Amino acid sequence: MKKVIIVLFLILTSFTAFYAQKAKDTTDAKTAENKKEPEKIKIQIPEPKAGMRESNINIKQWNPPTSLKTHFGHGSNAKNAPIFYFNLNLGYLRLFMKSDAVKDDTYLFNSNFSYIIELRPLDFISFLSSGSRFAIFMEQNEYLRNLTLILSNKTFSSTQFITSEMLWYFDFLYNAINIKNIIIPQSRTSPSALENLYPVTRKESIGLSDRLHIFQSPRLAIGLAFYFESHIPTGTQKVAKGPLSGTLTNLYSSSFTYSTLGGVFLRYKNNPIEMHANILYQWMEGDFDDWVITVQQNTLSAHYEISLYERYFGHANYYLINWKSNEQKETVYSHTINVGGEIKGFGKMLEWVGIGLDLIYQNMTQARGVIYDGKFSGYGFAVPVTWYPLSFHSKNHKLKLTAIYGLIKYDWNKSLYNGAIPENGKGWADSIMIKADYEF
């Protein structure tokens, strides 16, 4: 009996141990299963609407931010009063004005200050319908979004006032050298020196422009720009006025004049290097003012700038103006080359100071049949000292105040064939200019 009890006890113990182990295994399995990491849920993030990605970077030279600019100076030859430039940019609308009004010269035509109004109509509708299918369609078709209508009160002012990098330089040069004494100006309607090489302008003009990217990535963007402008045909217009007994009397014209411009813009950014460049070519043709003669004019401008660590800056500019008249058998060439650089910041205490050096070369020739020839050549240097008072304030605001002093070595002559005594001169001349640029 005792043996039977022992056997039953052993059997019961075995079953108890077996089921206990099985229960433990089951519990461990459930515990292990509960401890498993949940499977990651894949979430498909939708792409941004209208294809707006990081690669869609703009080319700032064509649409600069809102800005106020002015420059004035004095030199061996003359001085120029402050010339103000105002640029209000709302994206789909831009208003540009320049204080070039002259009221005390009764012989000038259209002495009002210059204004340029640019409107991107399709982009404006896209702005009003933000979030709609039309707005998305416009974002995907850049050439439609950037289609721009232009109204200006001075023909051909848009292309030169906004795209030229050399506006300040010609005033800087004319303050030192009496260019008008060598090259008889084509224009008599503005105190700005560069415009002396352009025909007198009419009252109103209309224009059309467009731009688009042909390639863009987070580092590189290349774009094309096109511009067309003509005066508003309103029948016969007075294009010049002067004393009735003088050579320049009241003259009229009803012919069609136009200007076209095309160019390539480039931007490259790969920290710490950033580069910007543009090449523009402009063509004008028509019966212009003063003597109402047919004029064909070419303008070629190239601009390049590079920065390193936003502290070291370099630039190079080339500007060519060539115009000719078949009636007067007249040709004019103007070549301008400018290269320079700047260092901004000299430690924590002088972070808002910059100093640079610009080298300048200028060559101009004018030949008008058997009347006269004019030639000018000069080279020199300029030292700009710049103050950045907002360098610690905000990246959205840029205020730049620059004082430029330069010396120019020149050689000029004007040969006259009507019995007058030829003029010539050579030597050194100096010029100083103050510039103020505020962008926001």
> Band of the pLDDT at 358, cuts 50, 70, 90?
very high
Within a domain: residue 21? no
Q: Is the pLDDT of residue 277 over 80?
A: yes
Within a domain: residue 9? no
Within a domain: residue 173? yes
Q: Is the pLDDT of residue 230 over 70?
A: yes
Domain containing residue 345: CATH number? 2.40.160
Within a domain: residue 24? no
Q: What are phi and psi of 169, to 5 degrees?
A: -65, -40
Q: Which residues are within 8 A (CB) of 191 and not within 5 positions of it... i.e. 6 or more apart? A: 80, 81, 83, 100, 102
Within a domain: residue 353? yes
How many domains are there within the chain? 1
Percent of the chain with pLDDT over 70: 68
Residue 294: which domain range? 49-439
Q: Is the pLDDT of residue 290 over 50?
A: no
Residue with tokens 């006259």: 416
Q: What average pLDDT does the segment 315-319 reach?
A: 95
> Band of the pLDDT at 89, cuts 50, 70, 90?
confident
> Band of the pLDDT at 389, cuts 50, 70, 90?
confident
Query: Which of the residue ranges 51-65, 281-295, 301-315, 422-436 would you say has the lowest mean pLDDT?
Result: 51-65
Within a domain: residue 323? yes
Strand partners, 226: 210, 262
Determine how β-strand 114-119 pairs with β-strand 148-152.
Answer: antiparallel
> Band of the pLDDT at 200, cuts 50, 70, 90?
low
Tens-digit pLDDT profile for residues 105-163? 555 555 667 888 889 999 888 888 888 888 888 888 888 988 999 888 766 555 566 66
Within a domain: residue 12? no
Q: Is the pLDDT of residue 413 over 50?
A: yes
Contact 386, 400 (CB under 8 A): yes
Task: Supply the DSSP symbol for 61.
Answer: T
Within a domain: residue 33? no
